[in-house]
Amino acid sequence: MIEFANFYLIPGILLGSIYALGAIGITLTFGILRFANFAHGESMTLGAYISFTLVQMTGLHPLMVMPISMVLTIVVLLFIDRYFYRPFRKSHAIMLVMASFGMMLMIRSVIQFFWGVQVKTILPGIQMPIVFFDTLRLSPKHIMIIISAIVLMLAVHFLLSRTKIGKAMRAMADSPELARLTGIDTEHVIRTTWVVGGALGVASGVFLAIDTHVETMMGFNLLLPMFASAILGGIGRPYGAMAGGLIIGLTEELSSYPWIGTEPLLNPGYKAGIAFIIMVGMLIWRPTGLFKGKV
């Protein structure tokens, strides 16, 4: 039982929080700018690498330098939006999907150019886990990640439900056309979307880097689970994305628990396929997702 918690449940919640933070950005862009942003994973990777360099330079903890890498990544995202996405505001959304697909490879090649492809460690040293109730083991970095993720999600909740711009974001996710007719400054909403999505993306990238390591494919590997989380929760529904991320993270980890007999239920090599299966199932059964999003 305790082995279940230590090796499956906690890693699942951890992974789920990372997916959830990333998926919020995906679902907001999907809902507000109306396109599936293939480059979202890369903004996480970029954030993680910038944090890595800042940690190298300053010797501070990754969480301490995270705000700076958020700002830098957001600047890059706003630049990309201005020169590569904005020209397509009035075109078919698929042009944006294509532009973001190209952007995904461009950002990654820049990262590979500057940092190389070797795997890097952002938080050196092995930490002794803290033991609760004699058996429940939690490493300090995991506690830190989960608490930070909760704080960030509460901040998102506050933004979306209490602030004018947050409500305008939800309004635009509901109907961009009506938002424009209502006089909402849609360009301002779009910029805020990049700021929020980018900041959360960087956080999720840095958390993943703290949990594992920094590598150039880390963002892309998260892309499919994040899309799946966004679709599971309902496109344009940030709370749905949080729930979807947690569900998918947990399912991925729990799928290799030996539920029946002593063998893992699913070959761990296929863990990454879980998200896809859930996503396809959702697309067949209920494309609007759990929280009734857009189709």
Partner 1 sequence: MIPVLELQMVEGGYAETQILHGVSIKVNAGEIVVIIGPNGAGKSTAMKSVFGLLNLTKGKVFLDGSDITNLSTEKVVRHGVCYVPQTENIFPSLTVQENLEMGAYVRDDDFQPRLNEMFDLFPPLAEKRKQAAGTLSGGQRQMVAMAKAIMVEPKILMLDEPTAGLSPKFRHEIFDIIKTVHKTGTPILMVEQNAKQALAVADRGYILVDGKNKTEGTGQNLLNDPDVAEMFLGGGVKK
Partner 2 sequence: MEQFYGYFLYLISLATMGGIYAILTLGLNIQWGFTGLFNVGIAGFFAIGAYVSAILTTAPSIRHLGGYQMPYAVSFIAAMLVSACIAWAVGKVCLRLRTDYLAIATIGIAEIFRLILKNETWATNGPRGVSMIPKPFETLPEPWNQLCFLALVILTVFVIYLALEVAHKSPWGRVMTAIRENEIAAKAAGKNVERFRMQGFIFGCMLMALAGAYTAHYLKFIDPNATEPLTTTFLVWVMLIVGGSANNRGAVLGAFAMWTVWSASEILASRLPDELAIRTAYIRIFLIGFVLQIFLQKYPKGFLSETRPHPRAARTPGYSEPE
Closest CA to 66 of 183, 232, 199, 225: 199
Q: Does 36 bind partner 2 (CB under 8 A)?
A: yes
Nearer to partner 2 by C-beta: 90 or 162? 90
Residue closer to partner 2 by CB (options 3, 185) is: 185
| Partners of 136 in beta bridges | 132
- Find which of partner 1, partner 2, none residue 90 binds, CB within 5 to 8 Å per kind: partner 2
| CA nearest to 125, candidates 138, 135, 105, 140 | 140
Cβ–Cβ under 8 Å, residues 288 and 295:
yes
Q: How far apart are CA 65 and CA 49, in angstroms?
A: 11
Burial of 138 (C-beta count, 10 Å sphere; 0-12/13-18/19+): middle
Applying CB under 8 A, what is the total number of residues that bind partner 2? 46
| Interaction pattern, residues 168-197, with partner 2; x per rule: CB under 8 A | --------xx--------------------
143, interface contact from partner 2, partner 1, none, CB < 5-8 Å by kind: none
Determine, following the binding rule CB under 8 A, whether residue 181 of this chain makes contact with partner 1.
yes
Question: Of the two residues 11 and 176, which places its CB atom closer to partner 1 in the complex?
Answer: 176
Distant-in-sequence, close-in-space partners of 37: CB < 8 Å, separation ≥ 6: 25, 26, 29, 30, 100
Cβ-based nearer residue to partner 2, 75 or 93: 93
Which residues are near partner 1 by CB under 8 A? 164, 167-168, 170-171, 173-175, 177-186, 237, 292
